Amino acid sequence: MATPSFESSRARAMWRTCLASALRTALACTIVGVATLFGPQYIKKQVAFPAFSYVTVILVVTDATLGDTFRGCWLALYATIQGVCPAILSLWLIGPARLTAGTTAIAVALSAFVVVLPENTHLIAKRIALGQIVLVYVIAYINGGQTETIMHPVHVAASTGLGVVACVLALTFPYPCLACCEVKQNCKLFAENASERFNLFVKAFTAEDNSCALAFISQAKSLVKTGSKLLQGIKTKQESMKWERFPFKFLRPYGENPGSRFQDVQTPLRGMEIALDNSPSFPVEILNSDQKSVLHMLGDHIPKQVNNVSLESSATVPESNQENTQKFFQTLQPTKKDLPSLFFLFCLNLLLNKPITNSPSSTNPKQQNQQGFFQNCLSITKSNKRFMAAFKCSLSLGLAIYFGSIYSKDNGFWAGLPVAISLAGSREATFKVANVKAQGTVLGTIYGILGCFVFEKYVQIRFLSLLPWFIVSSFLRQSTMYGQAGGLSAIIGALLILGRKGFGPPSEFAIARITETFIGLSCSIMVEILLQPTRATTLAKLQLSKSFEILNESISSISFGSIGNLVESQNKLKSHIIEMGKFIAEAEAEPNFWFVPFHSVCYRKLMGSLTKMLEYLHFGSQAFMLLEQESGGSIDNFIHKLDGDIKLFKDFVGSSMKCFEEVSLVKSLAILDKEFEKKKLSVDVELGTSQSSSHCNIIRYASEEEIDENLRSYFEHSKEFVDQIVNGEELKGQVVLSLSALGFCMHGLVKETKEIEKAIKEVVQWENPSSHVNLHDISCKVRALANIIVAN
């Protein structure tokens, strides 16, 4: 099989990437070291803070390409305008001699707030500017009246500039490290990965027994994670490619937006995987020997099509094979027992033909007003979040500087610098990140002390001992245990020991820096706890409820003629599921203290089911759009019948989502029961009715027989619609695939709804171990209480 060789080539590529990143970083740091230790006296005088030059190198060059460094030059210039230029005016107005620990902390905090508040400023620019602010004000406070009001900030800017120049040189020599080359390599690897997965899926689909099919499916699944990582790597480097086009106009970029086109390959492959997972047995009954040969023929063509995607080449089915492909689809009929097989072929059809994208043409005034109101609310929420993020950063930095300067005036800036350069772009797992930063700092500092001991007699070249540590740190950044935060802290910890000068004996400096780092991290944790008291567990619960609400909206949009609303709801649901995943990851890492432990396994199940429902909605919307495109006006006479068949699915899934939305927000069943009794509501729980709540939300339970009967009716109407098509056999085949895919997606939504119901019940039982859990009863009580509050 090709899988082991592919995985080994992927492993070698990862090693090459980590080694190349480490060597480029080492080269940039070597340039800084040579310039500050052996360079002309003028450079030594201007670059008064070589430690910050090293920090700038790490912020800009880590895992970067030449395009990233060009962008880093602009960001460093912008950061200097934000950080250094206002500081010159502040020092001139205040006077360095009048600075105290308190006034320095206030100046740093106010400057930090101004830097962090803008939304569109890049994170690297904010980090560099914050680092410059710390150095300018705290060093001015340390030196007092001896500080030059203008030249001192200029020296900080020069130190930043040296770091950026070193990054550009390191990424240029001995040969440029171009983003387009990395994208080209990743595109090649992704094409191999996708082709291998497709061939394995086809082999599984045409397998003669279950054991062979399951073996092929398992083999294909082992490649899915690698393919997703490669696709993500392609997408992340597309911005860097833009920065390389100006200085290297003679280089043709590797396709325009290859990530988007490869996503059009990734999605149908995921649909094939879903179809095979839902296939009851093998071999599939829908295929005969001729159809199997056509599938294998397509298996030879698809890899060529995937390889041509990134080059924007035309890659359609060859004319000699197109007739066989059309005949293959013409023989199909919509049947319930063949749903997974027909959905597999539907996804194959999407892979052969570019998926349809829907762009809503127009909306009525009411919808426009609702969208405008929603946008205004969203804008206000974002403004509040930006303000709070800026306030927390400024307060953390101000407290770190204040307490760090009180502990040791000469080393006070080491408390603020780690806080400044590790500013996060979004919410983080506070305790976990602080833990890995502390561990990384200690590891790097200890390595630096050992390096100083080994190179005690060769002080001028001891920074060369950083090369092996850069390699180790590159793998630390890729690890789950340390991640980016821990890996970067490890690099900086070693750099500031081996690349420093004028800070005294290494062991004393190491202890002082570790202590100051602890002070800075403690201030960050304290501010996070005080200003962001909402636990990630609570946020995950709220996000889960919100996802159910949006999913209910999406389900309500499932009908002919309202595909635009369905696509819009899908995009909202996707963003909320991604956000929920972040909260779940944070909740898994945060300490429990006296709270109920977070049931991460169950939340992961819920997220998996929501993700699958999102995928079913996506493929369902594709089926809707293909039906409207292929059938034209001939489907109008059957819209009422098909919508009626879909209604039962919508009622069951939609009412369930509404129930889950309400139940997932209940904190305590005991408190709910007390409130319910307090209001003295006469509720017949068994019937789900109350004298004050005629709109009690009840799950629309649908039995397997009811669902099967509804599917049977759906396929009868689908067959009627297919039989009345007179425009050609090819069109019939395409319509059969679309109708079957729609039926498969609706059945999948029902299946995942039942899985979510089990998981929600498990979560509620976990949080209320002494209570009997009945989602129907809980939903009725919540609804009844809500109606009483509204009535009063």
Question: Does the pLDDT value for residue 302 go beyond 90?
Answer: no
Percent of the chain with pLDDT over 90: 30
465 close to 26: Cβ distance less than 8 angstroms: no
Question: Does the pLDDT value for residue 691 go beyond 60?
Answer: no
One-letter identity of residue 731: L
pLDDT for the residue 632: 59
Question: Does the pLDDT value for residue 528 go beyond 60?
Answer: yes
**Burial grade of 176 (CB within 10 A; 0-12, 13-18, 19 or more):** middle
Which H helix or E strand runs over 690? strand 689-690
Of 195, 243, 244, 245, residue with least CA distance to 220: 195
Average pLDDT over residues 14-40: 86
One-letter identity of residue 698: I
Q: pLDDT tens for residues 419-461?
A: 998 888 777 777 788 888 889 988 998 998 888 888 777 766 7
CA–CA separation, 620 vs 746, rounded Å? 8
pLDDT for the residue 610: 95
In this predicted structure, which of 202-206, 307-311, 444-448, 453-457 has the lowest mean pLDDT? 307-311
Of 78, 143, 162, residue with least CA distance to 104: 143
Coil, helix or strand for 431?
helix
Question: Does the pLDDT value for residue 4 go beyond 70?
Answer: no
Chain-centre distance for alpha carbon 140: 41
Per-residue tokens: 253: 């970029």
CA–CA separation, 104 vs 100, rounded Å? 6
Q: pLDDT tens for residues 225-280?
A: 889 988 998 888 888 888 887 655 555 545 567 788 888 889 999 999 999 999 88
Q: pLDDT tens for residues 129-172?
A: 999 999 999 999 999 889 999 999 999 999 999 999 999 999 99
Which H helix or E strand runs over 347? helix 339-352
Mean confidence (pLDDT) of the chain: 82
Question: Does the pLDDT value for residue 695 go beyond 90?
Answer: no
**Burial grade of 135 (CB within 10 A; 0-12, 13-18, 19 or more):** buried
Question: Does the pLDDT value for residue 671 go beyond 80?
Answer: yes
Q: Residue 638's pLDDT band (boundaries 50, 70, 90)?
A: low
**Burial grade of 365 (CB within 10 A; 0-12, 13-18, 19 or more):** exposed
pTM: 0.85
More confident residue, 666 or 705: 666
Q: What is the DSSP string of 563-623?
A: HHHHHHHHHHHHHHHHHHHHHHHHHHHS--TTSPPP-HHHHHHHHHHHHHHHHHHHHHHHH
Which H helix or E strand runs over 274? helix 258-277
